[in-house]
Amino acid sequence: MRSFLNVRATNPGFRPDHVLGLHIAVDRSTHGNTDREVWRYLSRLIGRVQSTPGVESAAAVNRLPLGGQTQTLQIEFEGRDTKVNIDSRSASSNYFRTLGIPLLAGRAFREDDIAGRPDVGILDDWIARQVFGNESPIGKRFRIPIVPGMPWVQIVGVVGHIRHEGLDRDPRPQVYWPYAQRTQDRVAIVVKTAGDPMAMTPAIRAAIREIDPNQPLYDVFPMSEFIARTLLARRLNLVLVGSFAALALLLASIGLYGVVSHLTARRSREFAVRLAVGATPANLLAMVFRQSLARGSLGLAVGLLLSTAITRLLSTMIHGVTALDPLTYTSVVVVLLIVVVVASYVPALRVSRTHPVSALRDS
């Protein structure tokens, strides 16, 4: 449960509120075979969507954050013996502003960062720190070494790192290219709206169809809902494992209560004799508590030793919580000790309030 709450509270690195995400696939047979023609069509599409009343900004990216899809590349930096595995993204000029990704240094992409102009790129702060440390990366260059003739790409900006693969896993830094310089046919469009993004869907569809009446849209949903989708598998684990864990704790508590209560009740003759020879009810209860807690503590010690080995199997299912989490273990110990105390207190209290002669006769 704590692991799920930790994942849900993880900052994805962008602001999903009031942002609508949608996908399109560009038909090159209709809009041109070259990347320049495809980008010209996408640029018109984004411009029309952005001019829709209630839309604050719109942008294109080849894959949305947290979609679980990656495009892994290795890049090298000019003058440095460093090669880094990165996650590659192509984005239009308004992408960072639309998703609220902070620009930390340099500039964002501009409308004139197009094919035929000098190649530019933007790093996230993870890779900037890893490669350049405290030195500014602006103006430095990188390239993809495995591509023959790949030109050097000038770094023009640094943005905040965002989570692309999942809230609970974040293996690689990101590098961004201008969409006009690395155009792809399958496009995700993000739209920042002033109000409810789903309420803007009909107007956005109409805007796109003004440019191309035959352009299909798919996977249209608010980005906040998209984040919730990424938690579905973990939420299912929470329900299943949590239910079984709660049932196990309940059965353990019932069994423990029955055993301790039975052992305590079987000593009613002993308790009656102790009362008859001068023991007070307080002495009797104190003795029962000490003995029951000693017996329960021994059982808990054995259980803790076994669970330290078994719970390591859960290490792949938890996030921000260790398999030997002290709070979890303490909570379980406290619950079971309370069960021991209640199970021993009830029968001991009943005998302590009974006349010794009656207790001996009943036993």
219 & 245 share domain: no
d(C-alpha 181, C-alpha 108), whole Å:
14
Q: Which amino acid is residue 139, in one-letter code?
A: G
305 & 272 share domain: yes
177 & 322 share domain: no
139 & 264 share domain: no
Cβ neighbour number for residue 25 with a 10 Å cutoff:
13
Q: pLDDT in tens for each of the 363 residues of the chain?
A: 777 888 887 888 899 999 999 999 988 888 878 888 889 999 999 999 999 999 999 999 998 888 766 778 889 998 888 888 888 999 998 999 999 999 999 999 998 888 888 999 999 999 999 899 889 999 999 998 877 778 899 999 999 998 877 777 777 889 999 999 988 888 999 999 998 999 999 999 999 999 999 898 988 889 888 787 778 877 888 888 889 888 988 888 888 888 877 877 787 778 778 877 888 888 878 888 888 888 888 888 888 888 887 877 777 667 677 777 888 888 888 888 888 888 777 777 776 676 666 656 665
Q: Is residue 18 part of a domain?
A: yes
3-state helix/strand/coil string of 140-164: CEEECCCCCCCCCEEEEEEECCCCC
Cα-Cα-Cα-Cα dihedral sign, residues 252, 254, 257, 261: negative
The pTM of the full predicted model, rounded to 2 decimals, is: 0.73
d(C-alpha 126, C-alpha 140), whole Å:
16
Q: Is residue 131 part of a domain?
A: yes
Q: Is residue 180 part of a domain?
A: yes
168 & 274 share domain: no
Each residue's pLDDT tens digit, 118-151: 999 999 999 999 899 889 999 999 998 877 778 8
pLDDT of residue 355: 65
Q: Is residue 7 part of a domain?
A: no
pLDDT of residue 238: 82
Q: Which amino acid is residue 103, in one-letter code?
A: L
Q: Is residue 277 part of a domain?
A: yes
Number of domains in the chain: 2
Each residue's pLDDT tens digit, 50-95: 999 999 999 999 988 887 667 788 899 988 888 888 889 999 989 9
The tokens for 346 are: 């009830």
205 & 282 share domain: no
71 & 151 share domain: yes
3-state secondary structure of 40: helix
d(C-alpha 40, C-alpha 163), whole Å:
29
Range of the domain at 295: 233-362
pLDDT of residue 185: 84
The structure tokens 């980005």 sit at 223
d(C-alpha 123, C-alpha 110), whole Å:
15
140 & 74 share domain: yes
220 & 264 share domain: no
Q: Integer distance in angstroms from the first to the last C-alpha of the chain?
A: 47
Q: Is residue 107 part of a domain?
A: yes
Q: Is residue 86 part of a domain?
A: yes
State which of 174, 204, 230 marks the end of a domain.
230
71 & 145 share domain: yes
Percent helix, strand and coil across the chain, each rounded to 5?
50, 20, 35
Cβ neighbour number for residue 326 with a 10 Å cutoff:
8
305 & 212 share domain: no
3-state secondary structure of 185: coil
State which of 202, 230, 258 marks the end of a domain.
230
The tokens for 27 are: 């038909």
pLDDT of residue 359: 58
State which of 230, 257, 273 marks the end of a domain.
230
240 & 251 share domain: yes
pLDDT of residue 178: 94
Q: Is residue 206 part of a domain?
A: yes
